[in-house]
Amino acid sequence: MENPVVIGLTGGIGSGKSTVAKMFGDLGVHWVDADIVAREVVEPGTPGLEKIAEHFGQEILQEDGSLDRAALRTIVFRDPHEREWLESLLHPTIRDELARQLQPEDYDLPYVLLVSPLLLETDQYTLARKVIVVDVPVETQIERAMERDDNPRDQVERIIAAQMPREHRLERADYVIDNDRPLDQVRDVVRELHLKLQDKDWD
Binding residues: 14-19
Q: Which does 76 bind (CB under 5 to 8 A by kind): ligand COD, ligand ATP, none?
A: ligand COD
Stretch that binds ligand COD, among 30-38, 54-62, 172-180, 191-199 (CB under 6 A): 30-38
CA distance 173 to 133: 6
Q: Given the complex with ligand COD, which of 36 and 195 has the nearer CB atom?
A: 36
- In the bound complex, what is the minimum distance in angstroms from residue 50's beta carbon to ligand ATP? 26
Chosen from ligand ATP, ligand COD, none, partner binding at 131 (C-beta under 5 to 8 Å by type): none
d(CA 142, CA 152): 10
The rounded distance, in Å, linking the Cα atoms of 39 and 76 is: 16
16 binds ligand COD (CB under 6 A): no
Q: Which does 183 bind (CB under 5 to 8 A by kind): ligand ATP, ligand COD, none?
A: ligand ATP
Residue 156's binding partner among ligand ATP, ligand COD, none (Cβ under 5 to 8 angstroms by kind) is none
Distance in Å, CB of 95 to ligand ATP, minimum: 18
71 interacts with ligand COD by CB under 6 A: no
Q: What are the residues binding ligand COD (CB under 6 A)?
A: 13, 34-35, 38, 69, 72-73, 76, 83, 86-87, 90, 94, 116-118, 159, 162-163
